[in-house]
Amino acid sequence: MKDIAKRVFEVEIESLQHVAGLLDDSFTGVVEAILNCTGKVIVIGIGKSGLIGKKIAATFSSTGTPSFFLHPGDAFHGDLGIIGANDAVILISYSGETDEVLKVIPFLKWNKSLIISITGSPTSTIAKNSDHHLNIKITREACPLALAPTSSTTAALVMGDALAIALMESRKFQEEDFARFHPGGSLGRKLLTRVKDLMRTDSLPFIQIHASFTDVLLSMSEGKLGMVIVGSKDNVEGIITDGDLRRALLRNQDIAKLSVKDMMTVNPIIIDGDEFISQVELLMMEKKITNVLVGKERSIIGVYQIYTQ
């Protein structure tokens, strides 16, 4: 089974390398045409090509090029009205002769839509009726019967990814832009969410400067933050982390002689609640800490912990 898997990888890689060698100025022409397009990019395909088309449209949309997928069957039952005169349409068909896709072309011509095709045959009907064509001719399918689309769908997918990335870089699309389209994802959370939205504010573990070692240990265990705050919300004097505690024990194993002053870190880092999570987590990784206090000067309103979110 492992040999079969390796063979599939090798065949598909071989085909991708072949398609990469076919890239020419037509790719640049397609990118420029889409950049100059004032409408949307509509991707059309059926069967396995349709599934690839859905992914391409989704990738376009998430990287700064408004796009959606249109099934040719739905197109013939009223959805052609979705296509505007200023839209670009990408037709995907490896053979370039898919009947359902061919039937859309007369409308696109009448509508004066920009037509881009992705096929494995530059002489196919779909390619000849396109304003721009991208050739994804493969060496062979990974399917031993040469029946199931395998290398050909991979080639179409990678061509779509290549277009998306070329457009993304041309538009100078940044992390912040990506995050706006993915507010529910981890990147969106980090780039758009502020510390005050995720900080912990309840039952913060405070101790006083004269507390005993046992008080520190109990407060740290109850607080479940791996640290305690020395002082009060309005006057923070320092913090003691579990690391501070261990280092203090290594220096002096007689806990009766350990004082809060001996263990605590004075002038701890205090972050403004309006800071973005992304910036704060970079700082925390740089300082190799898992908790930061949130507030201003020596007054705090909460604690942000990097590993609990």
Of 261, 199, 255, the C-alpha closest to 230 is 261
pTM to 2 decimal places: 0.63
Distances (CA, A) of 245 to 252, 260, 291: 11, 10, 15
What is the structure's pLDDT at 301? 93
Phi, psi for residue 53 in degrees, rounded to 5: -60, -40
- Give 40-67 as a 3 state SS string: CEEEECCCHHHHHHHHHHHHHHHCCCCE
Q: Model confidence over 249-259: pLDDT tens digits?
A: 888 777 777 88
270-271 and 265-266: which strand pairing?
unpaired
**CATH topology assigned to domain 192-308:** CBS-domain (3.10.580)
pLDDT confidence band for 135 (50 / 70 / 90): very high
What is the structure's pLDDT at 188? 55
- Summary mean pLDDT of the chain: 88
Contact by Cβ (8 Å): 233, 226: no
Of 40, 83, 102, the C-alpha closest to 65 is 40
Decide which of 110 and 147 is more confident.
110
Q: Model confidence over 68-127: pLDDT tens digits?
A: 999 999 988 778 888 988 999 999 999 999 999 999 999 999 999 999 999 999 999 999
Of 227, 231, 258, 230, the C-alpha closest to 242 is 227
Q: Model confidence over 9-33: pLDDT tens digits?
A: 999 999 999 999 999 999 999 999 9
Hey, what are 20's tokens?
A: 């990469």
What is the structure's pLDDT at 191? 62
What is the structure's pLDDT at 189? 58
Indicate if the pLDDT at residue 177 is higher than 80.
no
What is the structure's pLDDT at 180? 57
Indicate if the pLDDT at residue 182 is higher than 90.
no
What is the structure's pLDDT at 190? 58
What is the structure's pLDDT at 44? 97
What is the structure's pLDDT at 282? 83
What is d(CA 207, CA 186) in angstroms, rounded to the nearest whole number?
34
Decide which of 160 and 220 is more confident.
160
Query: What percent of the chain stands above pLDDT 70?
Result: 93
What residue segments make up the domains of the chain, in order of their start?
Answer: 2-173, 192-308
Contact by Cβ (8 Å): 191, 179: yes
Decide which of 279 and 8 is more confident.
8
pLDDT confidence band for 186 (50 / 70 / 90): low
Strand partners, 271: 294
What is the structure's pLDDT at 226? 86
DSSP state of 145: T
Q: Does domain 2-173 have CATH number 3.40.50.10490?
A: yes
When pLDDT is averaged across residues 193-208 and rounded to a whole number, the result is 88
What is the structure's pLDDT at 308? 43
Indicate if the pLDDT at residue 247 is higher than 90.
no
What is the structure's pLDDT at 250? 83
